[in-house]
Amino acid sequence: MTGTTSDVRVDTDARVMVISIDRPAQRNAMTKAAAERISEALVELDERSDLAVGILTGTGGSFCAGMDLKRFAAGELARVPGRGFGGLTQAPPKKPLIAAVEGWALGGGFELVLACDLVVAGHGARFGLPEAKRGLIAAGGGALRLPRRLPRAVALQALLTGEPISAATAHHHGLVNQLVEDGQALDAARDLARKIAGNAPLAVAAAKRIVVESEDWPSDELFRRQEPITEPVLASADAREGAKAFAERRTPLWTGR
């Protein structure tokens, strides 16, 4: 189902899916149509065995300026039932998703970033949750996820003042994985995605699942709860192939089994 709509472009290459919000004249403000297309693309990402990693980005030098306020005022909600704002915030994919950020990631746009697993950003990128300035609240995951990705005081300042966070500050606190020259975020995200895509798919999926699910596990049950996730990986054909390839000094041939 890859292809183009008026609001979103979806391309696949070398086991990587790139989802590009394509409304540059509106700084990629989110529409219902764009949210639905992103949701469809994420379902495709998870279902296709030939795809390993997704990248979410925006065209024209901006990531996403949040919801289209004109359309919101007219009654349109840029969300998908069960998946949330942008077709992502309530139900991220099982496979890794990288945000490639240039320019502004505001409001719901920042919430899209927070729903991704990894973030690559240009030096000029800015992240903000200005909802309080407009009588709104960051209900698409911003108030929930930001304190888990930044120190509490930093997250509260961003939420309560509505002032943006620079890419350098986000990188300093670990929200941004890689800080690159402006205009290079997508290329750097592709490089990162290829490194992930070269690894065993069962191992990658299990690692993400443990990180996501273990957030609310009791400390005395951590190892017991991870066993049903780790044991199939350790017993897999890919685990045997990885050891064999290492011994034979060759690139592994993963089968996902």
Catalytic residues: 111, 131
Among the listed residues 108, 43, 44, the one whose alpha carbon sits nearest the alpha carbon of residue 71: 108
Alpha-carbon distance 58 to 183, whole Å? Answer: 11
Let me know if 157 is exposed, middle or buried by CB neighbors in 10 A (0-12, 13-18, 19+).
middle
Residue 39, amino acid: S
Virtual CA dihedral for 179, 183, 186, 190, nearest 10 degrees? -80
User: What DSSP string describes 102-161?
Assistant: -SEEETHHHHHHHHSSEEEEETT-EEE-GGGGGT---TTTHHHHHHHHS-HHHHHHHHHH
